Chains A and B, each alone.
Chain A
Amino acid sequence: MIVATIFLQNANFIDACYIVAFSLFIYGMSGLTGPRTAVRGNKIAAIGMAIAIIATLLTPHVLSGSSTPWLMALGLAIGIAVGVPAARNVHMTAMPQMVALFNGVGGGAVAIIAWIEYRHHFATGGSLWVEKSQIPTLFAAIVGSVSFWGSNIAFGKLQEILPGRPIKLPGQVIVNGVLFLICVVSAVVLAAGTHSQALFILGILLAAAVLGNMVVLPIGGADMPVVISLLNAFTGLSAAATGVALNNTALIVAGMIVGASGTILTNLMAKAMNRSVPAIVAGGFGGTIAAPAGGPGAEDRGPVRSTSAQDVAVQLSYARQVVIAPGYGMAVAQAQHAVRELEKALEKKGVTVKFAIHPVAGRMPGHMNVLLAEADVPYDLLREMDEINPEFPRTDVTLVIGANDVTNPAAKNEPGSPIYGMPILEVNASGSVIVLKRSMASGFAGIDNPLFYDPKTAMLFGDAKQSVSDITSEVQSL
């Protein structure tokens, strides 16, 4: 028994456990390259996490002290009590805010741990403030705090507690710059040897908190995919920094993998919007830009043609190929199940149905894919933008459901448009286009969409779920 305890508490054994843990993270994540292996990959990563936690608890002295195990158990129990029901009950349409929230608490944990680290060094008069853990701790405190508050604001916006439209404040770029400077200067002063807990709380944690709020508040809903990936990367990097401060390889590797994945996704999303990450962080377009910039004004775009569910059903039923382009509107209307029914009804009539998924459709990377998967749409019907664009000329009817900016031809042929240059789904290349939309209000970006005035386009106004169900029953009765 004693031998076993000595072995289990051996530093090499514990380090070996950490190595096993991060190997499982990497192996598990590489399973995410395909939907078939992904479920297993996620479970493997979860096993890695369990091993890392057990190894940590085996570390000598970690459980010492009469209250230590109980307090740990309390924290774990609260976490499970909150996390499990949240994860089980969340609607797929609410996934972006759920991810933002989980990301936020991770960032919050990083910031708290950095604070405690600092307090411990502070209590010893700085003599134990090992040089190498200074910078990572300060970095983790700043980034963790930004991530926590930024994610909470993102959650608030997605959950519609806060208005989704950009909230602009005067001189906001300057304020952000000053806040960032306060963080950096405080960090330099602290690292240089000043020991002041007040400075740590005010200059690092608080300034970073305000910065996190200020950075995310002005960002519009349509830019959320970028923001969520960016904050995810931030939390990852701050976790890696905590790992350096605590000499923990599992934390370093895991944090860096998350940092890398967040960075890749952020860049992909920004590229899919043809905008730079700094430009998005500096404040979204739209909201205030009401007038279409350049090109023909809305008044000379011609009339909008509206249609009925019955006409749409006839058009769809006699098509050879129909492409459905979903957007955030489908998520809002919870129309994914109705869309699946329509797809089945059309396939029964011998129509080929494909889905065109724009990389930034929805409020997080891959948002549409998850919603359609929830409604049992086979993932082999989903086509990425580059794959589907050449198919539009061969498509008889394209059904745009609650998507706007990602189908806006102005991005291709109106150099004055704010979204000019953004890659779009070229739906206007298909035989005809039917746009399901609540009203003629412009999209989140606040930009007018010439697609709606195209003579090939017909609009079906109303709630997307109701409209799709109406079309489906018309198709079935034909």
Chain B
Amino acid sequence: MSVITEIAILVLAAFVGFEVISKVPNTLHTPLMSGTNAIHGIVLLGGLLLMHEAHGVLEHALLVIAIAFGTINIVGGFLVTDRMLGMFKRKPDLPHGTDEEGDGK
């Protein structure tokens, strides 16, 4: 891929991001933070892509750490967001599907 194509994708993604995120209400800002937080754990892919090129103990060890970090970021981020979102409920008289983790304990 040429640099220009990648910069084009970069710029377009920024606009899409602004467009989508600016519609999120204040109420959901914490889940938004932890949700997007989970998404940047995608750098995990970088660790996976580089592992087979690694030489020596140092590089392997560093990449294992990077993969572990990325995984913590992804798994933790999505789970915690799910837990939080499961707690947002409307008026209690409305029977709303309770999430399996909605008790927040």
Q: How many residues of A contact B (CB 8 A)?
A: 113
Q: Which of B26, B75, B78 contacts A384 (CB 8 A)?
A: B26
| Given A43-B82, A46-B78, A88-B83, residue A379 in contact with residue B90 (CB < 8 A) | yes
| Given A75-B68, A116-B59, A253-B13, residue A109 in contact with residue B41 (CB < 8 A) | yes
Chain A residues lying within 8 Å of B23, measured Cβ to Cβ, are 30, 33
CB distance from B36 to the nearest CB of A (A): 4
A253-268 contact mask (Cβ, 8 Å, vs B): 1 or 0:
1111111111111001
A42 within 8 A of B: yes
Q: Which of A30, A56, A102, A259 contacts B34 (CB 8 A)?
A: A102
**Closest chain B residue, CB of each to CB of A264:** B21
Contact B20 A90 (CB under 8 A): no
Chain B residues lying within 8 Å of A25, measured Cβ to Cβ, are 39
A298 within 8 A of B: no
| Given A246-B46, A251-B42, residue A80 in contact with residue B14 (CB < 8 A) | no
Determine the distance from Cα of A359 to Cα of B50 in the docked complex, in whole angstroms: 41
A311 within 8 A of B: no
Contact B73 A251 (CB under 8 A): no
Determine the distance from Cα of A39 to Cα of B87 in the docked complex, in whole angstroms: 10
Per DSSP, are chain B's interface residues mostly helix, strand or loop, or mixed? helix
Chain A residues lying within 8 Å of B41, measured Cβ to Cβ, are 49, 102, 106, 109
B15-34 contact mask (Cβ, 8 Å, vs A): 1 or 0:
01110111111111111111
Determine the distance from Cα of A362 to Cα of B31 in the docked complex, in whole angstroms: 15
Contact B38 A373 (CB under 8 A): no
| Given A49-B39, A83-B79, A102-B77, residue A260 in contact with residue B64 (CB < 8 A) | no
Chain A residues lying within 8 Å of B59, measured Cβ to Cβ, are 116, 119
Determine the distance from Cα of A29 to Cα of B33 in the docked complex, in whole angstroms: 11
CB distance from B4 to the nearest CB of A (A): 10
Chain A residues lying within 8 Å of B69, measured Cβ to Cβ, are 79, 105-106, 108-109, 112
Contact A90 B80 (CB under 8 A): yes
Most chain B beta carbons < 10 A, residue from A62, A83, A123, A260? A83
Determine the distance from Cα of A251 to Cα of B74 in the docked complex, in whole angstroms: 13
B95 within 8 A of A: no
Chain B residues lying within 8 Å of A95, measured Cβ to Cβ, are 30, 34, 80, 84
Contact B27 A76 (CB under 8 A): no
Contact B60 A258 (CB under 8 A): no
Contact B42 A112 (CB under 8 A): no
Contact A78 B68 (CB under 8 A): yes
Contact B48 A71 (CB under 8 A): no
Contact A49 B31 (CB under 8 A): no
A439 within 8 A of B: no
* Stretch of A187-195, A233-241, A413-421 lying at the B interface: A233-241
CB distance from B48 to the nearest CB of A (A): 5
Contact A38 B51 (CB under 8 A): no
Contact A82 B37 (CB under 8 A): no
Q: Which of B26, B30, B37, B54 contacts A106 (CB 8 A)?
A: B37
Contact A373 B37 (CB under 8 A): no
Q: Which of B9, B18, B84 contacts A370 (CB 8 A)?
A: B84
A21-58 contact mask (Cβ, 8 Å, vs B): 1 or 0:
01001101110111100110111011001001100110
Determine the distance from Cα of A376 to Cα of B49 in the docked complex, in whole angstroms: 43
Chain B residues lying within 8 Å of A46, measured Cβ to Cβ, are 38, 78, 82
Chain A residues lying within 8 Å of B43, measured Cβ to Cβ, are 106, 109-110, 113, 238-239, 242, 251, 255
A96-124 contact mask (Cβ, 8 Å, vs B): 1 or 0:
00110011011011101101110110010
Contact B10 A257 (CB under 8 A): no
Determine the distance from Cα of A258 to Cα of B77 in the docked complex, in whole angstroms: 13
Determine the distance from Cα of A108 to Cα of B25 in the docked complex, in whole angstroms: 30
**Closest chain B residue, CB of each to CB of A131:** B3
Chain B residues lying within 8 Å of A384, measured Cβ to Cβ, are 25-27
Contact B10 A240 (CB under 8 A): yes
Determine the distance from Cα of A74 to Cα of B85 in the docked complex, in whole angstroms: 30
CB distance from A248 to the nearest CB of B (A): 6
Determine the distance from Cα of A87 to Cα of B50 in the docked complex, in whole angstroms: 28
Contact B42 A87 (CB under 8 A): no
A59 within 8 A of B: yes
B76-105 contact mask (Cβ, 8 Å, vs A): 1 or 0:
111111111111111110000001010010
Contacts A254-B40, A257-B17 aside, 20 further interface pairs with beta carbons under 8 A come to A29-B20, A33-B25, A49-B42, A74-B64, A79-B69, A88-B79, A95-B34, A109-B44, A116-B63, A239-B43, A242-B43, A250-B45, A252-B6, A256-B17, A261-B17, A264-B21, A364-B29, A366-B27, A366-B28, A369-B26
Q: List 15 A-B contacts (CB under 8 A).
A: A45-B78, A52-B42, A71-B60, A74-B68, A88-B83, A244-B3, A250-B45, A251-B42, A252-B9, A254-B39, A260-B16, A260-B17, A380-B90, A380-B91, A384-B26
Sorted nearest first, the 6 A-B pairs with minimum C-beta distance are A79-B71, A260-B17, A75-B67, A366-B29, A365-B29, A83-B76
Chain A residues within CB distance 8 Å of chain B: 22, 25-26, 28-30, 32-35, 38-39, 41-43, 45-46, 49, 52-53, 56-57, 59, 61-65, 67-68, 71-72, 74-76, 78-80, 82-84, 86-88, 90, 92, 95, 98-99, 102-103, 105-106, 108-110, 112-113, 115-117, 119-120, 123, 132, 228-229, 232, 235-236, 238-240, 242-244, 246-265, 268, 357, 359, 364-367, 369-370, 373-374, 376, 378-380, 382, 384
